[in-house]
Structure 1
Amino acid sequence: MCFRPRAVVFFTLVLIVSSVPSLHRVTGERHWRWRDEKGSSSLGNGGDLVTDLPGQPLVNFRHYAGYVTVNENYGRALFYWFYEAMSQPDEKPLVLWLNGGPGCSSVGYGATQEIGPFIVDTDGRGIKFNNFSWNKEANMLFLESPIGVGFSYSNTSTDYDNLGDEFTANDTYTFLHKWFLKFPSYRKRTFYIAGESYAGKYVPELAELIYDNNKDPSLYIELNGILMGNPETYDAEDWRGMVDYAWSHAVVSDETHKIIAETCDFKSNDTWSNEDCSEAVDEVLKQYKEIDIFSLYTPVCIGDTASSDDKSVLKVMMKRKSNMMPRILGGFDPCLDGYANAFYNRLDVQKALHVSDGHHLRNWSICNMDIFYSWADTKASVLPIYQKLIAAGIRIWVYSGDTDGRVPVLSTRYSISALGLPIIKAWRPWYHEKQVSGWVQEYEGLTFATFRGAGHAVPCFKPSSSLAFFSAFLHGESPSSSRY
């Protein structure tokens, strides 16, 4: 399929300079409040400070949520949730986290199922504190992107017809610069981008846009590195890895795998025109419907109608001649998606997060499947971007949970192998709490690691070791090579 050259986003930054009010703890209350020099209470930052999130555990850091308008003429606005670091937020880096799909919420997944300080609790009745939140190490910014995901929206209906990688990268880039106007103290902060799954494309594409535009000093962002988990990287190798992994883990038969090997050319946009190939790949997807493709060895959520959708993903891809990987709902706690839907569709929660007046409910879903099925623009491979960023000295770390069938470890190994990078430190185990957490290999410009026994959303399965891995990434240190 054809790709349009990425548009370059230009706008003038107007720095907002103001005095920083002192922060005081209000005795007996559960949340932080701002107090200005006159002692009056205010929220600051456009009223985005979250002060009354239902069921919030007592914490000693501030967090903010709300909208940033990325296009005034079209009425496009992206929803974010930002958590200051638990300690020394003025000294720690800023990390943007993105989930993929495309069409799935970084707030619903990353922030409140994986790496944020508040995790949705059973049946969506509330939230609980996450002892392994990544804001122990950094200031964490979660973004629902593109429009149509979660609470993010556009007032122009035709915007939804143009969704794709380029559109998403440009809006996210605009979001960042406008977000810095709300939070000017982060304007020159060390910055990283992280994400998982289809964000394996979002993250490097955004990094490239930042790198290209950094030639203009007024647009400069201190991008130091990118971190991606079980990422879609190179469509052809992602598909090959998926079917090889399914066969090697006894999900499909020898006969099905042999047909795919003999009839499927995943590097061709005409892959699905071969009837034998498409039927054999359909068989792989059919078998994965019986279990959780994101976590081979954990139970499915019985009665979850979202995961029993009979709409053929493969037929949709054949119709638009795309080799995009399929999106099939699932997760570690197989019912967590339902908990998130229940929580974010509460009026009191929406009011606390500044997306509703508390009287009119906004419909929120963890994934917008209409976005996936209508996705118009995707890069077949982001490996050329990897090469560009490596040459620029930008740190790239990639990790894989090794029980994920959706973007399995084989897909990522095949993709990295295609780069042909020199090996700096050979394949070896890495350790956390005296146990083998996985294996790691360091290349010139790229580090790849596995997480033993983890599915697609690694922090759900291995919260402690993923936090340790994240810390090593931020500090530019190799994952621990010593058991003791």
Structure 2
Amino acid sequence: MRGFNIEKTLTHYNIKMSSMLSQKVLLWSLIFLVCKANQQSEYLYKFIQSKRSQQKPSHVESYSSTIVDEHVSKVHVVEQQLRLMEDDKVKALPGQPKGVDFDQYAGYVTVDSKGGRELFYYFVESSLNSSTKPLILWLNGGPGCSSFGYGAMQELGPFRVNSDGTTLSLNKDAWNKVANIIFLESPAGVGFSYSKNSLDYSNIGDNSTAKDSYIFLLNWLERFPQYKTRDFFIAGESYGGHYVPQLAHLILSNNKKLKNHTRINLRGIAVGNGWIDDNLCTKGMYDYFWMAGLNSDETHEGIDKLCDFGNFNYTNECNLYQSRANDELGNIDIYNIYAPFCNSSATKTSYSGSDFDPCSEDYTNAYLNLPKVQEALHVKPTKWSSCSDLSWTDSPASILPTINGLISSGISIWIYSGDIDGRVPITSTKYSINSLKLPVHTAWRPWYTGKEVGGYVIGYKGLALVTVRGAGHMVPSDQPYRALTMISSFLLGQLPPQLNS
């Protein structure tokens, strides 16, 4: 890399930037650069920057591994369980196409009977041999974004919303081809999930989210007892890098501690483009900007020299270079650096499965606010939105200690990464995993869908890193067939296929 005079460059750039030395303003500047960006991804970035502006983060991992017993369902009468399950059955979603060959359920599960805290779920059984297929819980991130609106309706679920906002098309690469899937809107205040106690919305964090999700699972399994002994997996993306490992930790901890509750048969977790470590993910993001040709050499060298990511030491000079890096990106979708923006005048009429419509979030919002749709989903009338502003109270700076603990438990752990996501890029994921210093069991190699390279994989002791070629932040949206191939291998306990295997 060619050298340059940092002091001279800073002086020149300070002419425009001297009025922006407020750290908070600088750190939030990128939020407004992206037109019509995916809200889940924007909420993640806004949240991480707010953590930086408020205080110096701590690497101390702190969240509860216990539950409040009185919130767990005590209903054990089979007839009552069957009635609750049948009440949640969705006869048909408005506008769904012909050929739906699976059962779907939706409704509320109580996680705090005294406070009136209710979490909404949407459950689809597998279209092929559902009685023998495993169970997956899917969690989108934010924090504060909907697993139903994103995961179910735009990513791995059985349907896509058409451009008319009123009808649906089948997703031929839906994950319920290989599993039964629960999409959970968590915590309360997200999507259709709610609490009768408004204070719950200002007392939310990693601890309470993991706890409520665990209680949800215990109570859901009482409603669907046929799944109590089924192999269970947790998957998610984005801030799911917190949600998924933390919930897994809580399940394993309580499987050992509690004798009077259902033992959840957790077999593995999969995290996509997950925010795992504040320091390493931030460093990886700016390194990716440069390596992808989105930043100049001078800007990258300034960040490299002036930003002490290891100690979270962000000086004014460091912030100026980060702001400059953000400016240099231009008007692109940083969550898929090659994707077009939504152009409502050139939309399709139905989902073809060949590519992802960047206006899908608009269609989903329109569809889920239709009264007849909400009635079919058994929810109270609600102004549904894809993401919600929540007052977050706790968020460890690193989830790596949690992942390390899960490795020692022996469950399957996959970290996967779409390779054209600029917000939580492959460099961030690699830096995070490399810091664990795990022995390599399977050397880096390509994996295939047919004769095409689907991505790359490396197997470590207790963990696999999988990349998905041509996918951004929302892997199942950008590369549905490759994502289905990947998750199918994960559920089988095998690395993604080699050529002609």
**TM-score category (smaller protein):** 0.7 to 0.9
What letter corresponds to residue 415 of structure 2 in structure 1? V
Identify the residue that residue 387 of structure 2 maps to in structure 1: 367
Alignment of 1:167-206 (within 5 A): 167-206=208-247
Identify the residue that residue 399 of structure 2 maps to in structure 1: 382
2:266 maps to 1:223: yes
Q: Distance in 1 between matches of 2:204 and 2:325?
A: 28
2:302 maps to 1:259: yes
Identify the residue that residue 468 of structure 1 maps to in structure 2: 485
Q: Check whether the contact 1:123–1:338 (CA below 8 A) recurs between aligned residues.
A: no
What is the deviation of 1:300? 1.4
- Where in structure 2 are there 5+ consecutive unaligned residues? 1-56, 346-354
What is the deviation of 1:61? 1.3
Q: Distance in 1 between matches of 2:210 and 2:281?
A: 22
Residue in structure 1 matching 2:76, options 13, 16, 19: 16
What letter corresponds to residue 67 of structure 2 in structure 1? V
Q: Check whether the contact 1:404–1:456 (CA below 8 A) recurs between aligned residues.
A: yes
What letter corresponds to residue 453 of structure 2 in structure 1? V
Q: Check whether the contact 1:150–1:364 (CA below 8 A) recurs between aligned residues.
A: yes
Q: Check whether the contact 1:120–1:127 (CA below 8 A) recurs between aligned residues.
A: yes
| Total equivalences in the alignment | 429
Q: Distance in 1 between matches of 2:232 and 2:308?
A: 39
RMSD (Å) for aligned C-alpha atoms: 2.1
Alignment of 1:399-410 (within 5 A): 399-410=416-427
Q: Distance in 1 between matches of 2:393 and 2:344?
A: 32
1:470–1:46 CA distance, 2 compared to 1 (3 A): same
Alignment of 1:250-289 (within 5 A): 250-269=293-312, 271-272=313-314, 274-288=315-329
- Where in structure 1 are there 5+ consecutive unaligned residues? 22-41, 305-330
Q: Distance in 1 between matches of 2:439 and 2:433?
A: 11
What is the deviation of 1:138? 0.7
2:394 maps to 1:352: no
Identify the residue that residue 29 of structure 2 maps to in structure 1: none
1:430–1:264 CA distance, 2 compared to 1 (3 A): same
Q: Distance in 1 between matches of 2:311 and 2:196?
A: 37
1:286–1:149 CA distance, 2 compared to 1 (3 A): farther
User: CA-to-partner distance for each residue in 1:265-322, whole Å, 9 max, x for gaps?
Assistant: 22334x34x1111222223334456110111011112589xxxxxxxxxxxxxxxxxx
Q: Distance in 1 between matches of 2:309 and 2:293?
A: 22
User: CA-to-partner distance for each residue in 1:134-181, whole Å, 9 max, x for gaps?
Assistant: 111110000011111111111112111111111110110111111111
- % identical equivalent positions: 48
Q: Distance in 1 between matches of 2:280 and 2:356?
A: 25
Q: Check whether the contact 1:225–1:395 (CA below 8 A) recurs between aligned residues.
A: yes
What is the deviation of 1:17? 4.4
What letter corresponds to residue 218 of structure 1 in structure 2? N
Q: Distance in 1 between matches of 2:498 and 2:451?
A: 10
Alignment of 1:244-255 (within 5 A): 244-255=287-298
Residue in structure 2 matching 1:101, options 132, 137, 142: 142
Q: Distance in 2 between matches of 1:419 and 1:17?
A: 47
What letter corresponds to residue 396 of structure 1 in structure 2? I
Residue in structure 1 matching 2:93, options 53, 69, 75: 53
2:453 maps to 1:427: no
Which portions of structure 1, spanning 4 or more consecutive aligned residues, are displaced by more than 4 angstroms? 1-5
Q: Distance in 2 between matches of 1:281 and 1:240?
A: 11
Q: Distance in 2 between matches of 1:282 and 1:334?
A: 27
Identify the residue that residue 163 of structure 1 maps to in structure 2: 204
1:16–1:287 CA distance, 2 compared to 1 (3 A): farther
Greater relative CO, 1 or 2 (CA 8 Å, sep 6+): 2
SS at 2:122 equivalent: strand
Residue in structure 2 matching 1:62, options 90, 103, 106: 103
Which has the larger share of helix? 2
